[in-house]
Structure 1
């Protein structure tokens, strides 16, 4: 018997699924509410018997949102994995109708309710946020997977789990049931930001320290300046500057730039996070904003949401400041210890002290075509240094 209830937003779910003070901002209701757009298709499924909720997305074709399409993810499409066309064709037919457990921004997608006596989630961390939580039913991962399987089966959909961290509590259940599980991406973060800039630099060998010092000095050399604004100090003018810079960055990546859409998202984030919403800006010698980063804070992590780059940013090395050095400065000043950088190209992140954590995806035993794709993607990404 299917016991799941569906909600369009997190607002209708019990507060027991959410930490009041999350270590990782992506585990907060603020993130799951504000980091949305009307066409994302994400819904929230709650199973009170299993003591859990999850974020999920259905689809009936292979159009749009490749990061939420299990066929593209299993095939490593965004990671340049080579797959036989015949296998891709078979998988597209196998997975035409999907129910994918996944969330926006590569964040947690499974939310266990509180354990009795306020013990909090088992294995609290990136996929189980820390903080005070109300008491609730014990989390039963096996029951949750069963409910999701029945729910997907009743709709004729292929159930999958995408972008899971290794500590996700459903992974042992999936492996026990014979699901195909493999690495489909990497998430980068800087775990050692140092007590100060000198402490951060001390972790690198001498030649790399010299390079990073030159990088850190690039703004002074160009007469440029760096700024960090939080909460109420992020003015309407700054929000408009950031939206324009983010639209410029989209254009550089072949995405139509839409400052109005980007401004709406950033306004939602500012409203939802309040003082935990921040903007890093670099201005050239004439005071023009040439690079930006939008950031949100948890109690442990600073999350880099998006970098904006406009004309003149490359000449002064502004990207490295808004993408790495200013988020670390913000983390140190607010008592956070890590910076979450997201996925994407690994080399520049690794050269600045990031580590790569694998993200895994899982498809059921009967999904043989997706299983074949997943095995190749896992082998290709696991072989990368």
Structure 2
């Protein structure tokens, strides 16, 4: 059995470059994303298991406050995803998982990073990456701290999933991640996949800005000015307020400034301005070699009147992807209805809890069944 020692780092900067692709298809797999998409209170740290040929992102917590999408109990219960659970079971799980060590990363991105062959920039297979050794080391690390170890928001190809299943872990779907996999060669090609009635609705949607005298803009890299960054932060704060989150333009500006610095020409902003030139909707975006990632939508007063949301959330990201040679747009989680109506597909995100976590396992089974029943 391989003996694995874990080393902890506050940021990815201390980790070996062998875990990262220099030019990833998905921007969430880049060091730029894992460095810039952070804030001091996020609690995310990085563990390196050199002998297992891997590193991972983790978040420890000692209660059930803050960051609900990084709290195992809420996630396996389907909280915020329209899953009904018995209150008694929720109470039992909250006690069982008061102290957690969650393997997860900000932005629903990659959380386990196998070592790569530098010349080929592909994951190492075989003995160089030992998923079982990594899982055992994490189990021992969490047990020594008296924490419940969990893996959150894994896609179906995550290399630790077979090991977790072999070890009897409870594994199930806890969310869905939406993406537009085929953006079309151009707008006409994109529209051509829909039935006639839906195509007419989308054409009206696309014409909404012209009808209102509004305009759309896409800025990249150096063309994203300080003034635009300020406008975006205010719009994102408005969107947070609409979702019951205290709007903090200063915090949002700091994150976007880090993204602009880290990604350079691969950082972009989509804006919609009303007939008076006032910014009413925005989207911050980052690019990989294959994917355009929609990080956040900002919506201010007047955006609903002109249908601005649909432009910054769907049509402008697709326009950016076509212009840069990308083929997919990553939309994130949340309400699937508007995404599916615009051609998105849903990929399951799975979470896993250990065999002894019976209360969490019961919640996870119900959540998995609820997602299985959805279209």
| Structure 1: distance between partners of 2:36 and 2:51 | 28
Cross-structure match for 1:352: 342
**CA shift for structure 1 position 97:** 1.0
Q: Kindly indicate whether the alpha-carbon contact (under 8 Å) linking 1:115 and 1:137 is maintained by their aligned counterparts in 2.
A: no
Cross-structure match for 2:45: 43
Stretches of structure 2 lacking an aligned partner (at least 5 in a row): none
Q: Kindly indicate whether the alpha-carbon contact (under 8 Å) linking 1:2 and 1:150 is maintained by their aligned counterparts in 2.
A: no
Cross-structure match for 1:220: 210
Worse-matched range after superposition: 194-203 or 109-118: 109-118
Aligned pair partner of 1:25 in 24, 27, 44: 27
TM-score (norm 2): 0.97
| Equivalent runs, 1:235-250 vs 2, <5 Å | 235-250=225-240
Cross-structure match for 1:127: none
User: SS at 1:77's partner residue?
Assistant: coil
**CA shift for structure 1 position 23:** 0.3
> Is it true that 1:368 corresponds to 2:340 in the alignment?
no
Q: How many residues align?
A: 373
**CA shift for structure 1 position 115:** 4.2
Cross-structure match for 1:133: none
Deviations 1:339-372 (A, max 9, x none): 0000010000000000000000000001111000
Deviations 1:278-308 (A, max 9, x none): 0000011111111000000000000000000
CA RMSD for the aligned pairs? 1.3
**CA shift for structure 1 position 76:** 0.6
**CA shift for structure 1 position 117:** 6.8
**CA shift for structure 1 position 2:** 5.1
Aligned pair partner of 1:278 in 252, 255, 268: 268
| Structure 2: distance between partners of 1:249 and 1:99 | 30
Q: Kindly indicate whether the alpha-carbon contact (under 8 Å) linking 1:36 and 1:265 is maintained by their aligned counterparts in 2.
A: yes
> Is it true that 1:6 corresponds to 2:8 in the alignment?
yes
Deviations 1:164-187 (A, max 9, x none): 000101000000111000000000
Q: Report runs of 4+ in structure 1 exceeding 3 Å deviation.
A: 115-119
| Equivalent runs, 1:1-385 vs 2, <5 Å | 3-115=5-117, 118=120, 120-121=122-123, 138-385=128-375
Q: Kindly indicate whether the alpha-carbon contact (under 8 Å) linking 2:4 and 2:49 is maintained by their aligned counterparts in 1.
A: no
TM-score (norm 1): 0.95
Going from structure 1 to structure 2, the CA distance change for 1:227 and 1:137 (only over 3 Å counts) comes to farther
Stretches of structure 1 lacking an aligned partner (at least 5 in a row): 124-135
| Structure 1: distance between partners of 2:251 and 2:95 | 34
